[in-house]
Amino acid sequence: MDKNKFVFVDKQEIEEEAYRKSLTYWQDAWRRLKKHKLAMIGLVGVIAIVLIGIFGPMLTQFSYSDQVNDYKNLPPRLDLYQVDDDTFIYLSGDYFLFSVTEKGVLVKRLELPQENKDIINKVYTYILDGEPVILDFSYNLLPGKKGYDYDFTLEYKGNVTHDVYKTVLNKIYPFGTDSLGRDMLTRTMYGARISLIVAFVATLVNFIIGVTYGALAGYEGGRKDNIMMRIVDIINSIPLVLYVILLMVMLGNQGLWTIIIALGSVYWVGMARLVRGQMLALKEQEFVLAARTLGVSKKKIIMRHLIPNAMGPIIVSMTMMIPSAVFTESFLSFIGLGVSAPMASWGTLANNALSGLITYPYQLFYPALAIAITMLAFNFLGDGLRDALDPRLRKG
């Protein structure tokens, strides 16, 4: 062979090109996860939701149970009517008048003495700083009557208006208030705390019971495996709502711990099946045979060899089950089987909003949006973890 046909490379250049830092399994998984844009968005979302749930309610001036009946059913955006040079009025859907600054800070709710209610003619006379504010929404102002295209007027110190001056954000209640005058922002953030507590406790129980049970069933095999998995089938055949009702009857109360116990008692069955399948495949591998040959105990084989090798699918499954637990808790609270008043859960907030859905849609919008964002964040993260932890999907 002619040596002139080959190009010889310097030895130092070869060593530089061949050198690459060795990565562990988890370092490689993190490297792959960072390349998954949706997974990183989900991770940021999960961190944000956890921080909001923990610290959010501490940063507001209200607690989840504080009631200000004068400020009930206020929306996040206020339509202001200018009745004087520096006097602005907001008219709520319940026909209450509020004095508001031009920047959207609520000052007070206007007084309405009982004798000032002319229900027959639909003329209400409120009191602002000793002066009357007349709200006239009589029938002669309805559209089509006498050519008017509005259905009420406001009169203060001789000034009459029916046009919205400007729309501003509600500075005191950014998410508005509910039917009892409670701050929706605080209650929504507190709902995140309730939902995450339930989700993480259910996940912890899921990990401890499900992984242990599934690992034992899969490693033992045979008759023991059949008996253990039939027990799982029986537990899985009973509806979750029935579990909650039975626990409420047995425990004699309705609240957070009832849901936690209910989820903890049934949510591990899916994990047990997953881990059992992993054990059935892994226990036939050569490293398990080598451990048996060396006399390693059954417990150590399961804890130190089998479960660590199945952690990828286990972590992915746990991440996917968290949004499922959040949704289940919200559903149970929505149908009245969740946390009791005045505690705020996203499902409870959605249930409370149903009666005024047409008039006050924001009361349902914010808890529903919180549920949707939480489920999307965890699902994005779980999808990225699946791609990062599954060796069969590795391409670089």
Mean pLDDT for the chain overall: 84
Instruction: Please report, rounded to a whole number, the percentage of residues in the chain having pLDDT higher than 70.
Output: 89
- Residue 41 amino acid letter: I
Query: For 301-318, what is each residue's pLDDT tens digit?
Result: 888 888 888 888 888 888
Mean pLDDT of 93-98: 87
Looking at residue 118, its pLDDT comes to 83
Residues 142 and 234 in one domain: no
Say which residue the tokens 């026909």 belong to.
Answer: 95
Q: How far is residue 119's CA from residue 98's CA, in Å, rounded to a whole number?
A: 20
Among the residue ranges 165-169, 257-261, 390-394, the one predicted with the least confidence is 390-394
User: Is the pLDDT confidence value at 236 over 70?
Assistant: yes
Number of domains in the chain: 2
116/8: higher pLDDT: 116
3-state helix, strand, coil in the chain (%, to 5): 60, 10, 30
Q: Which domain does 360 fall in, by range?
A: 184-393
User: Is the pLDDT confidence value at 195 over 90?
Assistant: no
Mean pLDDT of 385-391: 77
**Cα distances (angstroms) measured from residue 85 to each of 129, 132, 168, 248:** 15, 16, 17, 59
Residues 141 and 190 in one domain: no
Q: Please check whether residue 136 lies inside any domain of the structure.
A: yes
Residues 243 and 307 in one domain: yes
User: Is the pLDDT confidence value at 99 over 90?
Assistant: yes
Looking at residue 396, its pLDDT comes to 44
Query: For 245-279, what is each residue's pLDDT tens digit?
Result: 777 777 766 677 777 887 888 888 888 888 998 88
Looking at residue 147, its pLDDT comes to 47
Residues 229 and 141 in one domain: no
pTM for this predicted structure = 0.82
Looking at residue 20, its pLDDT comes to 57
Residues 145 and 192 in one domain: no
Among the residue ranges 188-197, 223-232, 259-268, the one predicted with the least confidence is 259-268
Q: Please check whether residue 8 lies inside any domain of the structure.
A: no
Looking at residue 174, its pLDDT comes to 93
Mean pLDDT of 107-112: 91
Helix (H) or strand (E) holding 181: none
Residue 244 near residue 259, CB atoms below 8 Å: yes
Looking at residue 150, its pLDDT comes to 58
Question: Of 136, 169, 202, which residue constitutes the final position of a domain?
Answer: 169
